[in-house]
Structure formats: C-alpha cells, structure tokens
Amino acid sequence: AYLFCNKRGHRMKVLVHDGLGIWLCARRLEQGKFHWAQVHQGESMAISPEQLQALIQGLPWQRIGRQQVVTML
C-alpha cells in the first residue's frame, strides 16, 4: 500500500494493489490531523498493520509496538 497525506495533514489517500487491480481509499478527519512521519521526498518507510490501523484512525501510531497503550476517548 502507498499512503499520501495533504499539506494540512487532515486528508489521506491510500493506493493498494490487490492482485486484480488497484483501488483508492480516501479519508478526511473532521478534527485534528493525522500523525504523519517525517519522511523526505523520495524516501519510503514500512509500518506494521497495527500501526496502519492507528494512523488511519488519527492515533499516534509511532507508539504502537513499543508496549505502550493508546486509548481512544
């Protein structure tokens, strides 16, 4: 999957190839911003499925997997 975020940080698009074709998913947060990683243009990074779920929900995904708990209120 490839994830893209706008400059304001409140819209995200995800491109996924499933073997049959490519699908596009978009999400916009009504409040707040996605906790986006600081990656320079042309660079990429890998995240776990759990981190992806947290990122899509607008949670601080960088904490997932370090035995730290993220609570949604």
Could you read off the pLDDT of 42-72 as tens digits, one per residue?
788 888 888 888 888 877 777 766 555 555 5
User: Domain count of the chain?
Assistant: 1
68, part of any domain: no
Residue 56, burial from CB neighbour count under 10 angstroms (0-12, 13-18, 19+): middle
Share of residues in the chain with pLDDT > 70 (%) = 85
Is 70 a member of any domain? no
Rounded to whole angstroms, the Cα distance separating 12 from 28 reads: 6
Range of the domain at 44: 2-63
pLDDT reading at 19 higher than 70: yes
Q: Does any domain span residue 33? A: yes
Q: Is 22 exposed, middle or buried (0-12, 13-18, 19+ CB in 10 A)?
A: exposed
Determine, yes or no, domain membership for 22. yes
